[in-house]
Structure 1
């Protein structure tokens, strides 16, 4: 049942994002930033953790989860190091994910021929 719930919640998040991409003139990069910012905001106001406990990987894998990871890293670093934590917490919390995205993105661009989206 856990897998079904994660699949359904993750699918709903992806479907809503796809609707946003199709029905607005927002570029994909802006939509990605919107999702990360929304995850950060939900984490800051305390709504993301209960949502993630309910939805499991369906909530933590999409970009909303990345925003929440950034928020948690910054919050912990600020608690430990004060003002400097603003600059180091997010990097420490998401370093592995960002590194993997960069490496696999580069490999995909080498192996395949990327094309720009037509207007």
Structure 2
């Protein structure tokens, strides 16, 4: 069904461009490509564009069928994580001074640490 909607959307875009050319320049691109507005194949293309419009009309009134990820409904507060609340304090000296001396100073101060 997703492929059908994409094809319908492409045909609607082609039809919109054709109508824009007709409105601005009185030039029927589909008709000129397929042998005139009254030719059978041009009328077939116009029919496909019309059917595509009817297919995509359903998307206008039913946003749930669009290709948009759906949000999950949740109760109360969202998925709250307290994992960092009870963790150790980070050693800011190692974060801001990643040189070798900062690591060596830490090891000299803490005799219980293992290398």
TM range (shorter): under 0.3
Structure with the higher helix share, 1 or 2: 1
TM-score normalised by length of structure 2: 0.26
TM-score normalised by length of structure 1: 0.25
